[in-house]
Amino acid sequence: MHRKHLWERIFEKARPSYVISSQPDPGLCWAGKSKGIPIYDLQHGVIAEHHWYSEKYRSNTSPKDLPDGFLCWDKASAAALRKWAPQKGIDVRNIGNSWFSRFLVKDPNDLLVQEATRTGRIFDNDKPVILVSLQQSLGFTYKGVTVDALEKVILETAGNYNWLLRLHPIQLRGLENEMVQKYLTRTFGHLESVEWRLCSESALPIVLEQANLHITDYSTVVVEAGWMGLYSALLSSHICPGGKYENLYIHERTSGLATVLIQDSNVIKRWIVETLAKGKGKSTLKDAGTTLHTFIEEIANAARMSHKGIKNVPPHRLTD
């Protein structure tokens, strides 16, 4: 209730027509409904099986504690939400990933993209590049920052492959940073074919363009790698049959772009050799049904109608 009143006071000062947020808290959603201000959740990570978005966690959640709509990256994410959200009166949109799209079609007038692109390739040799997406808090689970088997593979194949170890943002700026940096320097700092600083600061699409394969515990980068046609290996035991995330990345796994591997160095090395031989896969990125730009235009139109005295309603109801 306190958060609801706090957001209501913010709305009274800011007077928004719509709010776009990532995983908006119940107080924000409740305040939006009380003030007639639609709240939209903009996807920023994996949807399927995530506790915030999953049907099994949200089946008993009151609609007043949920946003008025979800803005999704792709069809698979939208499909997962449409299993339950429309029954609660929630709009589900596939608008694509606007950040990713900026790098797929590089506008010469987009200064941010042009500056990011000028960084160039991290490695200047012809060896295959393998991207590893690290994840927060795994350093407190494993003795290092990744599973022992992958650490062993990196050390044993440093002469054959280039390795990009991309840190999670919390590992870059959170409490784990010192521990992670010490581990990486101690374990891989002597290897010229292992890099983690520049690839962690660079825009993800730029890094993915340079990679041939992707390995992770269960990072959302599996989805974005699939958009680029990159194969991913998943090492988390939780994704195995019977695990708590056994249905994670079903779309990518069904399409063959993601494979669950046991934590065994020989298995990982064999997967690398066999998968590199296949080349890149078919991209899973499809054109969104609408774009963020189109959605914002609909918001603007709805706001203009609201100023003319028409009650503020979600934009999809204005365009049906």
Per-residue pLDDT tens digits of the chain, which is 320 residues long: 789 999 999 999 999 988 999 999 999 999 999 999 999 999 988 887 677 787 777 888 999 999 999 999 888 889 989 999 999 999 999 988 888 888 888 889 999 999 888 878 899 999 999 999 998 765 445 556 889 999 999 999 999 999 999 998 888 877 778 888 999 999 999 999 999 999 999 999 999 999 999 999 999 999 999 999 999 999 998 887 788 888 888 889 998 999 999 999 999 999 999 999 999 887 766 655 567 778 888 878 876 776 565 454 455 443 33
Whether residues 227 and 173 share a domain: the answer is yes
Looking at the domain assignment, is residue 165 inside a domain? yes
241-266 as b/e: b if 16+ CB within 10 A: eeeebeebbebbbeeebbebbebebe
Residue 139 has a pLDDT of 47
* pTM as predicted: 0.85
Residue 170 has a pLDDT of 81
Q: How far is residue 172's CA from residue 275's CA, in Å, rounded to a whole number? A: 30
Whether residues 213 and 293 share a domain: the answer is no
Whether residues 55 and 129 share a domain: the answer is no
Residue 284 has a pLDDT of 67
As given in the structure block, the two tokens for residue 135 are: 């994840």
Whether residues 183 and 271 share a domain: the answer is yes
Q: What is the DSSP letter of 237?
A: G
Q: How far is residue 192's CA from residue 113's CA, in Å, rounded to a whole number? A: 28
Whether residues 122 and 92 share a domain: the answer is no
Looking at the domain assignment, is residue 51 inside a domain? yes
Helical ranges in the chain per DSSP H: 2-14, 26-35, 55-58, 75-81, 98-104, 111-117, 148-157, 169-173, 177-188, 197-201, 204-210, 221-227, 250-254, 265-278, 292-307, 316-319
Whether residues 256 and 165 share a domain: the answer is yes
Number of domains present in the structure of the chain: 2
As given in the structure block, the two tokens for residue 156 are: 């044993």
Looking at the domain assignment, is residue 47 inside a domain? yes
What is the CB neighbour count within 10 angstroms for residue 126? 6
Looking at the domain assignment, is residue 106 inside a domain? no
Q: How far is residue 102's CA from residue 98's CA, in Å, rounded to a whole number? A: 6
Whether residues 152 and 227 share a domain: the answer is yes
Whether residues 120 and 216 share a domain: the answer is yes
Question: CB burial class (10 A; 0-12, 13-18, 19+) of residue 280?
Answer: middle
Q: Is 71 in a helix, a strand, or coil? A: strand
Nearest to 264 by CA among 286, 292, 235, 240: 235
**Domain of 82, in residue numbers:** 2-96+288-319
Looking at the domain assignment, is residue 103 inside a domain? no
Reported as type and span, the H/E element at residue 107 is none
Looking at the domain assignment, is residue 49 inside a domain? yes
Residue 282 has a pLDDT of 78
Whether residues 221 and 239 share a domain: the answer is yes
Looking at the domain assignment, is residue 160 inside a domain? yes
Whether residues 54 and 143 share a domain: the answer is no
Residue 319 has a pLDDT of 37
Whether residues 141 and 221 share a domain: the answer is yes
Q: Are 260 and 240 in contact (CB under 8 A)?
A: yes
Say how many Å lie between the first and final Cα of the chain, rounded.
Answer: 35
Looking at the domain assignment, is residue 283 inside a domain? no
